[in-house]
Amino acid sequence: MIPRGRSVPYYVFQSLDSYPELLHAVTTRRGGVSAGHFASLNLGHTVGDAPEAVEENHRRLAEELGIPKDFFVSPRQVHGNHVAIATKASRGSVVPDTDALITNDRMVPLLLRFADCTPILVYDPRRHAIGLGHAGWRGTVARMAEALVRAMSEAFGSDPADMIAAVGPAIGPCCYEVGPEVVSRVEQELGPEFLSNRKADGHAYFDLWAANERQLRDSGVGKVEVAGVCTACHKDEFFSHRGDHGRTGRFGVVMMLR
C-alpha cells in the first residue's frame, strides 16, 4: 500500500491507484480527535467512544477525501455474507444486516469499518462498478468474497476477469490464533491449508488473507493485491480487536466512483 493524505493519513493500493475515476482509502488510527483506546481516528459508532468525537472524525475524513460528510453509505455489519446494492438514494444511510455494498453510481462513497476483519475491495474498470466487503472468520467461511464478486456480476454484468481486487489490512496468520470451533468450520468449508500451527504450541492460526485471496482467484478475478499488513502486529497504526483485547476503535475503508 502507498501512504497518502495530509491532515488525515490513509493508504491506497498500487493496483487501484491508476484509475482516476476511482477514489479509495484505507484509514489508520491517525488524524482524528478520539482519546484513549479510540485514539485517534475512530470511525466506529458502537464501540463506546464519544459520539461527537466520532462525528468529528468522519468530518475530517470527508474533508480529506473531498466528499460531503453526509454522503457515506455504510452497512450495519453482522459477520454474514449478504451483499446490498447502494445507489444515490442510499447516501447518508445505514444498510441493515449487511457485510458488503456494491454500486455503479457515481459519488456514492461506501464506508466499511474494521478492527482485524478482512477488507475486500473490488473494482471493475470496464463496467465502472465497485464492491466493498467485510469478512472476519465467519464471513470468510461463508465465502463473502465470492458472494461479492457474484453480486457485481449479477447486478452490473461485470466479468470477474475485468475485476481488480484488494485484500486490506487484517489480522494475519502470525497472530490470528483460533479455537476448535473455528478450526472445524475452516476445515469443513475451506480446507486445512488455511490453518497452521506455526508456533509449535499446538494452537491453530487461521490465514484470513490467503483464504480471501483464494476465493477471489477461484471466482476468476483478474488481479488480486494483498496488503499483507497484520493489524495486530501494527496496532500502533491500525485498530486491532485482538491486539487491543477488545477495547479499541475502528478504521475505515472507503470506495467511491467519482
Strand ranges inside 104-250, DSSP E: 110-114, 118-124, 129-135, 164-167, 177-178, 195-196, 204-206, 223-226
178 binds Zn ion (CB under 5 A): no
Candidates 48-56, 150-158, 208-216, 228-236 — which segment interacts with Zn ion by CB under 5 A?
A: 228-236
Between 131 and 173, name the residue whose CB sits nearer to Zn ion. 173
Helix, strand, coil shares of the chain as percentages rounded to 5? 25, 25, 45
**Which residues, listed in sequence order, are joined to residue 223 by a DSSP beta bridge?**
164
Which of 51-59, 153-161, 222-230, 243-251 is the region at the interface with Zn ion (rule: CB under 5 A)? 222-230
| 179 close to 253: Cβ distance less than 8 angstroms | no
Which span (1-9, 66-74, 116-124, 169-177) binds Zn ion, by CB under 5 A?
169-177
Q: Does 174 engage in binding with Zn ion (CB under 5 A)?
A: yes
Beta bridge partners of 111: 254
Mask: binding to Zn ion, 78-117, rule CB under 5 A, as x and -?
----------------------------------------
Interface residue with Zn ion among 232, 253, 255, 257 (CB under 5 A) is 232
Distance between the two ends of the chain, CA-based, in angstroms?
A: 21
Q: How far is CA 241 from CA 66, 68, 127, 176, in A?
A: 29, 29, 36, 11
Q: Toward Zn ion, which CB reaches closer, 42 or 240?
A: 240
Please provide the DSSP assignment of 83-116 as one string. EEE--GGGTT-EESS-SEEEE-SBT--EEEEESS
**Smallest distance, Zn ion to C-beta of residue 176, A:** 8
One residue of 172, 243, 249, 252 binding Zn ion per CB under 5 A? 172
Tell me the number of residues near Zn ion by CB under 5 A: 6
Interface with Zn ion by CB under 5 A: which residues?
172, 174-175, 230, 232-233
